[in-house]
Chains A and B, each alone.
Chain A
Amino acid sequence: MLRIHQKQSNSYLIKQLPTATVFLNTRLEVEYASDYWIDYFNFDDRNVFGKNVFTLFEKATDSWKQTLQHCLNEKKSNTGTEYFLDVNNKERWFEWTNLPWHDENENVIGLILQTEDVTRRVESELKLQRQHMLYNEKSKIAKIGSWTYDLQKQELHWCEMTRAIHGVSQEFRPNVDIAIDFYKPGHSRNTIAMALNKAINQGISWNKKVQIITTKGEERWVMAAGKPLYKNQKIVGVLGTFQDIHDQVINELKTKENERLLRTLIDNLPLNVFIKDVDSKKILVNRSEADFLGFDHPNDLIGKNDFDIYPRHIAESSYEEDQKVISSLRPILGKETICERKDGSITTFLTSKIPLIGIDGTATGLVGISLDISNLKQKEEELRDLINVTSLQNKKLVNFAHIVSHNLRSHSANFSMLLDFLVNEKDPEQQQNITTMLVEASDNLLETLNNLNDVVAINTNTNMDRNPVVLNDMIQKVIQNLQGVIITNRVQIVNEIPEDIVLQVIPAYLESILMNFITNAIKYKDPERDPLIRLGTVLQDNKIELSISDNGLGIDLEKYGDKLFGMYKTFHNNKDARGIGLYITKNQIEAMKGSVTVCSEVGKGSTFKIYFNETN
């Protein structure tokens, strides 16, 4: 009775225990259990008493089973951790402690099992483990190591990665002096020594990009950071990170070097270089382009488009070109372009526009390269002028050579023929006749030689002094000299030349030219009407145009146009026509760098226009 009472009171006592406790008998059946225990394992609905503990914990591990059995047999207490799935099927961890259950006589009558919920602790342990793993991985990937320095113990600890970066084994025992000696002598070593000193003495953190020399003697860039560790507001050590940034730094240096190289190159190229975005705004401009456009610094041009820089029409065509290159992705190469600046100055460029193609295959802008070829252009033009002059001279020379050869040959043929006749002629009368012809031929030859000599003189004396001559004075002089012919032929001369016209000419040539044109006008007069000669001048583009018009016979220019100024060419049945006058006149005009043109209509008259180039 007492025993039963005792048991009941025990049961009630245990039920109220503030811990999850269960009393198992030797058969490991539940004898007593605290409400906490029942609650904890959610056994409310089931009658746990008298049940074997392992039927309650279906998932109990064998080791735990053994431990419990062991406790009964060896009377030893034990602890361990187990987990179970709660009603929500969630893993929950508990720590158990078992003690042998003794009766008053110290006999083991079972065991006491106490459990404690450690789910949270286990979870945070796992979390910590995971984080630690993650940290290690990160450190490996980023090549970030860490270190700590205990001031009191004067102990320096390097993590695995820090050791790897230094190139030392895991057995290596670093100290502060050794660590500092790893830094490259000079800037790096001084910086770190000072930083460490400041951290210890003044509590200042650091983060420095410096170089170390590894045990293999290799120089490497590292990012070394450190900060003081406090305990009770006293600095007790320093902890820090140590990152290998060698590859980044080298890449950075290389990139910077490439950038500098490129910049130096484009800035010093004797070419205008620019890069534009898709809206044709400049995003890079070199020195030459800035100089050309009159900007102090290339940066002043960034963000500007052609409309900000050039006159509208130039900007429009350039913009159109840009857009075509960007949309078609086809470059324009070596195109000759005329560029006009806002001040109106003209430059000729050889321009290339090359699309800048991005990763997605569309253009992100374009690179432009322009070579100023204005000088070349000018030289080319000068050269072309020179070629024209030379080929003209050459043509004249060939022409002259032919004239000389033809005329001399023609005379010599006559001599040869006549002499041949003379030798074979018996008849004295015929002999006399042939002799007369020989004399005639000789005179002709002499005259031809004189004419040729005149032409040569004109063409070799092109550098004769040119003096200012009042045109009207010269005309008066010529008219005076021709007075007889003028009166005989009842010539009327209308002079409309202003009094102040002065020409820079070789006076003798001007006289000869005027004489020839006026004489020709009279010589080739229309027999039906009295000659009328009109003289006038027009000033045009620095040139003075002198026109001499007549109402004479006129010349069929379609037939004779190309021969009019040729030597020994005559076009009218006129006894005085020798075919030399206009040839000499033309040579004289050209010797003064002038030119002559003619328009004429048969039966109406002719107008000769002589251009005196006053700029020369």
Chain B
Amino acid sequence: MRQINSICIVDDDPITVFGIKKILNNVVECSNVKSYGNGKLAIDAIKEALTKEENLPDIIFLDINMPIMDGWQFLEEFTQLAIDQKLRVNIITSSIDLADVKRWEHYRTNSQHLITYNNKPIKKEKMAEITKVA
């Protein structure tokens, strides 16, 4: 099984967080999986890790609709951060709104990171594909 150092899940829905973790267990081996209830909590944690020069998550699972700071606002701040590595961000959403797809396109083409757009629910095969480190 694939070994991944650190994974971060940003979603306010505990069921989704549970689901992602469960499927992840079947696909990769990762001892460090953290989850945050909204974008603000997640971005704060990443910023802190950056200043403390700790390891950053290799893969981020990101929900769009969240309180306080939603997925887009998170991406806006995240893509501005001075990160040397190329990280992987998997947007996990139930939205099939074309406007959301367009916004993803915008971030995808304007960022050094690998950003993907995935509709819920995530199946095991899909999870295997999107957990390859960028």
Smallest distance from the beta carbon of A441 to chain B beta carbons, Å?
6
Residues of chain A at interface, number, CB under 8 A: 25
Contacts A402-B97, A406-B97; A414 near B68 (Cβ below 8 A): no
Question: Which of A33-41, A417-425, A500-508, A516-524 lies at the binding interface?
Answer: A417-425
Q: Name the interface residues of B19-58: CB closer than 8 Å to any CB of A.
A: 19, 22
Minimum CB distance partner of B65 in chain A: A568
Contacts A421-B22, A570-B67, A571-B67; A413 near B121 (Cβ below 8 A): yes
Q: Name the interface residues of A438-496: CB closer than 8 Å to any CB of B.
A: 440-441
Chain A residues with CB below 8 A from B19, complex form: 414, 417-418, 421
Residues 2-19 of B, flagged 1 when their CB comes within 8 A of A and 0 if not, give: 000000000001011011
Q: Is the CB of A420 within 8 A of B121?
A: yes
Q: Helix, strand, loop or mixed for chain B's interface?
A: loop
Q: Does A529 contact B (CB under 8 A)?
A: no
Q: Is the CB of B94 within 8 A of A572?
A: no
Task: Tell me, in angstroms, the Cα distance from A420 to B121 when the chains sit together.
Answer: 10
Q: Is the CB of B68 within 8 A of A416?
A: no
Which of A416, A570, A572, A577 is in CB contact (< 8 Å) with B121?
A416
Q: Does B112 contact A (CB under 8 A)?
A: no
Contacts A402-B97, A405-B96, A406-B97; A413 near B68 (Cβ below 8 A): no
Q: Is the CB of B67 within 8 A of A418?
A: no
Q: Is the CB of B94 within 8 A of A410?
A: yes
Q: Is the CB of A437 within 8 A of B73?
A: no
Q: Is the CB of A414 within 8 A of B67?
A: no
Q: Does B132 contact A (CB under 8 A)?
A: no
How big is chain B's contact interface, by range?
10 to 19
Which of B15, B18, B67, B122 is in CB contact (< 8 Å) with A569?
B67
Task: Tell me, in angstroms, the Cα distance from A402 to B22 when the chains sit together.
Answer: 29
Chain A residues with CB below 8 A from B121, complex form: 413-414, 416-417, 420
Minimum CB distance partner of A408 in chain B: B94
Contacts A569-B67, A570-B68; A417 near B122 (Cβ below 8 A): yes
Q: Is the CB of A418 within 8 A of B94?
A: no
Q: Name the interface residues of A539-595: CB closer than 8 Å to any CB of B.
A: 559, 568-573, 577, 579
Residues 95-130 of B, flagged 1 when their CB comes within 8 A of A and 0 if not, give: 111000000000000000000000111110000000
Q: Does A132 contact B (CB under 8 A)?
A: no
Q: Does A604 contact B (CB under 8 A)?
A: no
Task: Tell me, in angstroms, the Cα distance from A421 to B96 when the chains sit together.
Answer: 24
How many A-B contacts are there with CB distance less than 8 Å? 58
Q: Is the CB of A577 within 8 A of B67?
A: yes
Task: Tell me, in angstroms, the Cα distance from A402 to B98 when the chains sit together.
Answer: 10
Task: Tell me, in angstroms, the Cα distance from A406 to B18 when the chains sit together.
Answer: 20
Which of B68, B120, B123 is in CB contact (< 8 Å) with A573?
B68
Which of B15, B67, B95 is in CB contact (< 8 Å) with A406?
B95
Which of A405, A410, A420, A437 is in CB contact (< 8 Å) with B18?
A437
Q: Does A59 contact B (CB under 8 A)?
A: no
Q: Does A409 contact B (CB under 8 A)?
A: yes
Q: Is the CB of B73 within 8 A of A559?
A: yes
Residues 398-410 of A, flagged 1 when their CB comes within 8 A of B and 0 if not, give: 0000100110011
Chain B residues with CB below 8 A from A412, complex form: 94
Smallest distance from the beta carbon of B103 to chain A beta carbons, Å?
14
Minimum CB distance partner of B19 in chain A: A417
Smallest distance from the beta carbon of A562 to chain B beta carbons, Å?
12
Which of A406, A441, A579 is in CB contact (< 8 Å) with B94?
A406
Minimum CB distance partner of B15 in chain A: A414
Chain A residues with CB below 8 A from B119, complex form: 413
Which of A409, A417, A572, A573 is in CB contact (< 8 Å) with B96?
A409
Chain B residues with CB below 8 A from A437, complex form: 15, 18
Residues 57-97 of B, flagged 1 when their CB comes within 8 A of A and 0 if not, give: 00000000101100001000000000000000000001111
Chain A residues with CB below 8 A from B96, complex form: 405, 409
Task: Tell me, in angstroms, the Cα distance from A418 to B122 when the chains sit together.
Answer: 11
Smallest distance from the beta carbon of A591 to chain B beta carbons, Å?
25
Chain A residues with CB below 8 A from B15, complex form: 414, 417-418, 437, 440-441
Task: Tell me, in angstroms, the Cα distance from A409 to B92 when the chains sit together.
Answer: 12
Q: Is the CB of A413 within 8 A of B120?
A: yes
Q: Is the CB of B68 within 8 A of A410?
A: no
Chain B residues with CB below 8 A from A417, complex form: 15-16, 19, 120-122
Task: Tell me, in angstroms, the Cα distance from A572 to B119 when the chains sit together.
Answer: 27
Smallest distance from the beta carbon of A133 to chain B beta carbons, Å?
102
Q: Is the CB of A413 within 8 A of B94?
A: yes
Task: Tell me, in angstroms, the Cα distance from A417 to B22 when the chains sit together.
Answer: 10
Contacts A402-B97, A421-B22, A559-B73; A409 near B68 (Cβ below 8 A): no
Minimum CB distance partner of A577 in chain B: B67
Task: Tell me, in angstroms, the Cα distance from A410 to B96 when the chains sit together.
Answer: 10
Q: Is the CB of B68 within 8 A of A572?
A: yes
Minimum CB distance partner of A412 in chain B: B94
Task: Determine which residue in A440, A559, A573 has the highest number of CB atoms from chain B within 10 A of its CB, and name it.
Answer: A573
Task: Determine which residue in B15, B22, B68 has the highest number of CB atoms from chain A within 10 A of its CB, and name it.
Answer: B15
Task: Tell me, in angstroms, the Cα distance from A406 to B94 when the chains sit together.
Answer: 6
Minimum CB distance partner of A411 in chain B: B94
Task: Tell me, in angstroms, the Cα distance from A417 to B15 when the chains sit together.
Answer: 9
Chain B residues with CB below 8 A from A440, complex form: 15
Task: Tell me, in angstroms, the Cα distance from A416 to B94 when the chains sit together.
Answer: 12
Task: Tell me, in angstroms, the Cα distance from A577 to B37 when the chains sit together.
Answer: 14
5 nearest interchain CB pairs?
Answer: A413-B120, A570-B67, A410-B94, A409-B94, A417-B121
Residue positions of A touching B, CB distance < 8 A? 402, 405-406, 409-410, 412-414, 416-418, 420-421, 437, 440-441, 559, 568-573, 577, 579
Q: A409-B120, A414-B121, A559-B73 are in contact. List 7 more A-B contacts (CB 8 A).
A: A409-B94, A409-B96, A410-B120, A413-B94, A413-B120, A414-B13, A573-B67
Residue positions of B touching A, CB distance < 8 A? 13, 15-16, 18-19, 22, 65, 67-68, 73, 94-97, 119-123
- A to B CB contacts below 8 Å, 26 in the list: A405-B97, A406-B65, A406-B94, A409-B94, A409-B120, A410-B65, A413-B94, A414-B13, A414-B16, A414-B120, A416-B121, A417-B16, A417-B120, A417-B122, A418-B15, A418-B19, A420-B121, A421-B19, A421-B22, A437-B18, A568-B65, A571-B67, A572-B68, A573-B68, A577-B67, A579-B67
